[in-house]
Every structure is written in structure tokens, then in C-alpha cells.
Amino acid sequence: MSRNAPGFLPQVAFSILLALSLRPRHGYELMQQIEEDSHGKLRLGPGALYGAIRQLHDDGLIEEVSPESSHERRRYYRLTPAGAARLGAEVEYFEASVSLAKERRILGNAMRLMPWLS
Amino acid sequence: MAKLSARFPVYSRLLKLYPTRYQERYGEQMLQTLADMLDANSSATGRLLVWLRATRDFPASLFSQQWAYAGTVLSRETPRFVQRNALVSGLLFVPFFAIATANDLVAHRLYHTWLWSFDVLVAWIVLLPAFGLLLSTATLFAWLRLNKRSWWQSLRDIAHNWMMLLPILLGVGILSLVFFHDSVHCVTGNPVRELHNPHATLRCVEQR
């Protein structure tokens, strides 16, 4: 199974792509957006954030944006077309998974439906 | 960068533990993000939580970046001769570990087999590890000469050199164990003479 198949992007990387889908952002803005998007469940430190940024950058899914002012010390990142396509594929995969879970009435009901788990 | 380094002297020094390229690419941004996080929190508790988050995050991130870097170096930047010599060096240590482990597993019964005859013993306990040590040391120096950076810089770059440093450490460890083991002093105190009389050595060690 290909590592690039949808559903295989790590959580932090997926969250970064999702946060960049609105507009280019710098590191701290990304952290804030990710925290907001995950309702406070995903709180990154600088190490985890830039580790994921490096990986996404090396994979060609995000790119740096030239700063508008030469005084700007923060680097901004945005999605590349490949990154947008990958994000779309991931979201479609999750959407299909959630539909399936709803169809099987698993959401919020998993333990009741699968008594052998308890 | 200098301003931020002065503001966070300890954190900026810790960032130097990351692979050089990663540090050059993201070190300043990491400091900037930390500054933004702290500036957004005016309360002492909030700032403490930011520091806790940055501290908790650091070891895992450092390990994963060094690991990724070592993998990249191995696959893309390590010359063929270094890879080959690292493999050969590693293989030269296999008999030592295999025989020693097997001997432990069978309650030291291999002492009385051909594996403990003088020529064979010298081969797997001294010659093969020594050759592995020599090969890895020579390869490390040859590779350091090829690098454009200074020797000291290259040597400090453990992620770059681990393939050679590991066999060197193993070789030094095995040979130290052999030459400074109790058995040496047990018989003569002289490692060379000790090797000529392994059975007497073994008897002496067993009596201890």
C-alpha cells in the first residue's frame, strides 16, 4: 500500500494542510489555527510544528512565500497545487469513512454495537 | 537571529543539537515562534505553560530530526565505499557476538570445543574484531578527508558518521574486554601470553 495513499498523512501534517487551506500563515498562526480547528486537542510545540513543516516542504506539499516586507522575520507557508490535491484526497477519504461509520451506526455507539470489545 | 538568541540563550543553544541543515533552515523560525507564543501570553502561568510545551516537545522532535537526517545521509550522501566498508566491519564482529551468545546459551559447554582451540580463538576474539576496528577507522578518516568541512566539524556530526563510529566503538569495546578481562591477569598479566594458554586461563577464571 502506498505511503501517499489518502489516510496516511500524519495527524499534524494533515492539520497543517487544513490550516493552510484558508491562507498562507507563519509558524505561530499555524499553531493557533491548528489548536482552534482541533478544539484545543492538538497543541504543538515549535519542534513538532517545524518537523512536520520540513517533511511537507520536502514532499512538495507546501512552499515558502516571499515576505512582503524585508523587515519581516517570520516565514510564511502556503499550499502548493500538490498539497491542495493531497488535502482534497485526504478529506474525501475521511468523508467516505465517516459516511460508512454513520451507515453502520458506529458513531458514538461503537461499544454497544460491538459487545465483544467490552 | 542574534536578538532572539540573546533573549533565549538556553533554547537557542539547545537548537544547535539539531542537524546543521535543519537548524539553519528552521532554527530562527523556531525561536521566532517561541517568542510569538510567549508574547501572546501576558500571565506568568501562560508563559510557564508555553515553556512546558516547548520543553516537552523538544526531545522527541530532536530525535526524529536526527533520525530523519541519518536516514537521508545514509541513502543519499554516503559514498558506496563507506556503506560497503561499514557492512564488512559489522560482519567482522558477528562471530564474536554469535559465539559468545551461543556459549552462554549452552552453559559454557563450547569451552571444550574446537571454537576454543588456540588458532580459532585468536581469530574470532582478536583478529576479526581488530580488522573490523582498523577498517572502520581507516574508512572514517578517508571519508573525513573527502568532506569539505573541517575534520572537527565532520567528526561532531554523529548522524553523518554513525555507521563508522558504531563499529569503532564495538571494536574498541571487544578488544578492551579481551585484553583487560580478569582472565588476562589470572594467568600472566600479559595479553599475548594469555592467548597462548586459553585452557589454563579458563580453569583459572572458573576457580575465581
| Rounded CA separation B81/B12 (Å) | 37
B contact test, residue of A31, A50, A57 with most B CBs within 10 A: A50
Q: Is B202 on the interface with A (CB under 8 A)?
A: no
Q: Is A45 on the interface with B (CB under 8 A)?
A: yes
Nearest beta carbon to residue B33 from set A28, A51, A55: A28
Check residue A82 and give its pLDDT: 94
Between B155 and B173, the higher pLDDT residue: B173
Q: What percent of chain A has pLDDT over 90?
A: 60
Residue A1 lies in a domain: no
Q: Is A27 on the interface with B (CB under 8 A)?
A: yes
Residue A4 lies in a domain: no
* pLDDT band per the 50, 70, 90 thresholds, residue A73: confident
Sequence length of chain B is: 208
Nearest beta carbon to residue B53 from set A45, A73, A75: A45
Q: Is A81 on the interface with B (CB under 8 A)?
A: no
Measure in Å the smallest separation between the Cα of A47 and chain B Cα atoms: 5
Check residue B113 and give its pLDDT: 87
What's the total number of domains in chain A? 1
* pLDDT band per the 50, 70, 90 thresholds, residue B131: very high
Question: Averaged over A53-61, what is the pLDDT?
Answer: 93
CB-CB under 8 Å, A48 with B40: no
A27 CB neighbours in chain B (<8 A) are 29-30, 32-33, 36
Orientation angle between helical segments B158-180 and B44-72, nearest 10 degrees: 80
Report for A9-13, B71-75, B161-165: range of highest mean pLDDT: A9-13
Q: Is A17 left (phi over 0), alpha (psi -120 to 50) or beta?
A: alpha
| Rounded CA separation A47/B14 (Å) | 11
CB-CB under 8 Å, B26 with A74: no
Question: Averaged over B133-157, what is the pLDDT?
Answer: 82
Check residue B206 and give its pLDDT: 65
CB-CB under 8 Å, A31 with B34: no
List the beta bridge partners of residue B86.
none
Q: Is B58 on the interface with A (CB under 8 A)?
A: yes
Check residue B67 and give its pLDDT: 85
B contact test, residue of A12, A16, A33, A49 with most B CBs within 10 A: A49
Range of the domain at A109: 11-117
- Flag whether pLDDT at B192 surpasses 60: no
- Flag whether pLDDT at B76 surpasses 80: no
**CB-CB contact of B100 with B115 (8 Å):** no
Residue A56 lies in a domain: yes
Sequence length of chain A is: 118
Q: What is the CATH number of the domain that holds A53?
A: 1.10.10.10
| Rounded CA separation B163/B139 (Å) | 10
Of the candidates B184, B198, B173, B161, which has an alpha carbon nearest to the alpha carbon of residue B96?
B173
Residue A2 lies in a domain: no
The whole-chain average pLDDT of chain A stands at: 86
Check residue A102 and give its pLDDT: 83
Residue A58 lies in a domain: yes
Residue A20 lies in a domain: yes
B98-130 per-position pLDDT tens digit: 998 998 888 888 888 888 888 888 899 899 999
| Rounded CA separation A91/B101 (Å) | 52
* pLDDT band per the 50, 70, 90 thresholds, residue B188: very low
SS3 A25: strand
- Flag whether pLDDT at A109 surpasses 80: no
- Please give the radius of gyration of chain B, using alpha carbons only, rounded to the nearest integer: 25
The dihedral through the CA atoms of A41, A29, A25, B64 has a sign that is: negative
Question: Averaged over B16-44, what is the pLDDT?
Answer: 91
Place of cell 536578538: B3
Q: What percent of chain B has pLDDT over 90?
A: 35
Measure in Å the smallest separation between the Cα of A35 and chain B Cα atoms: 13
